Amino acid sequence: MKEYNVAIVGATGAVGEEMRRVLEQRKFPVKKLKLLASARSAGRRLTFKRMGVTVEELAEDSFKGIDIALFSAGGAISKKFASHAVKAGAIVIDNSSAFRMDKEVPLVVPEVNPDDVGAHNGIIANPNCSTIQMVVVLKPLYNRSRIKRIVVSTYQAVSGTGKNAIEELLTQSKKVLSGENKVKADVYPHQIAFNVLPHIDIFLKNDYTKEEMKMVNETRKIMGDSEIGISATCVRVPILISHAEAVNIETEKKITSAEAKKILKNAPGIEVIDEPEKYAYPTPIFAAGKDACYVGRIREDESIKNGLNLWIVSDNLRKGAALNAVQIAEVLIERKLL
């Protein structure tokens, strides 16, 4: 099997570290792994396949000989360095929001729109974590009957913000449990421990947040349907890993809950956990560290003719970021596009 030189940009971040683990766990054909990060992380030694790899400082000339560059260091870094990677001959799979809505850049979830990978000009965008898990579950239902409208409320883990947010939640939780009434909030505008914040990313002129509009615009692009009505409310909750979503859809034709369960059980990347009598439904703790998108609480919306409610949970660092990026690279290899 042919092997490839792979670079991870943002290698010491939460998603970058998960990318390294996923590459190893899936036995991706890596010939050489290059780990790139900021100057303050340069020199660190990380493990890959039981070998030590030294983190290097990211620079414009870091991509010589690289076949695949997995970016997860934020939009500003992607905008600055992705073009240099492409010029050096690499295909960039970017986890930031920098290129997602660019008409020249495919936005890909392999279970949903793998054919789009071939339309790239050197850059393929990885969607937002909350969008990924939703479209993986909704696409098989959409294939049965077009979805007219989606109403989604998310319950998103602090790891979506990064390592600093994880540390803030842990620190605040310890202080609250020790009896402190007030704790310091640096990452978020309010205390996140034992609290929920109906606010992810910046507020826009329409009073929705950027995260909410990402779900709207990215879902339409990935599904190839600009007419889907979508309303999102994104909430940060005090858990470490895995995002959960309460999703309500309205379809053109009736899909019963029994039919929906059958469709989803046979769809790729999905596991159905839905036995209410046994209190069986997916939870963030259960999904953490796993690859699938889990769905439960599948039931018909009794307030409208063709409505369904679903509860979707997935590890935001894996399927919501690292795993999806690696799967895109696997599709490129399978289709001989590398």
Residue 262 corresponds to which tokens in the numbers above?
């059958």
Selecting among 129, 190, 199, 234, the annotated active-site residue is 129
CA atoms within 13 A on the CB side of 311: 15
**243 among known catalytic residues:** yes
Strands (DSSP E) contained in the chain are 4-9, 30-37, 45-48, 51-54, 56-57, 68-71, 91-94, 123-125, 147-156, 229-236, 243-251, 270-272, 293-300, 307-314
Residue in 151, 141, 175 with CA at minimum distance from that of residue 248:
151
Alpha-carbon gap, residue 73 to 97, rounded angstroms: 11
Alpha-carbon gap, residue 44 to 135, rounded angstroms: 37
| Single-letter residue type at 72 | S
- Whether the CB-CB separation of 53 and 21 falls below 8 Å is answered with no
Selecting among 120, 234, 243, 293, the annotated active-site residue is 243
Query: Residue 45 — φ and ψ, nearest 5°?
Result: -110, 125
- Whether the CB-CB separation of 305 and 294 falls below 8 Å is answered with no
Alpha-carbon gap, residue 97 to 93, rounded angstroms: 12
- Whether the CB-CB separation of 164 and 227 falls below 8 Å is answered with no
**199 among known catalytic residues:** no
User: Which residues does the annotation mark as catalytic?
Assistant: 129, 243
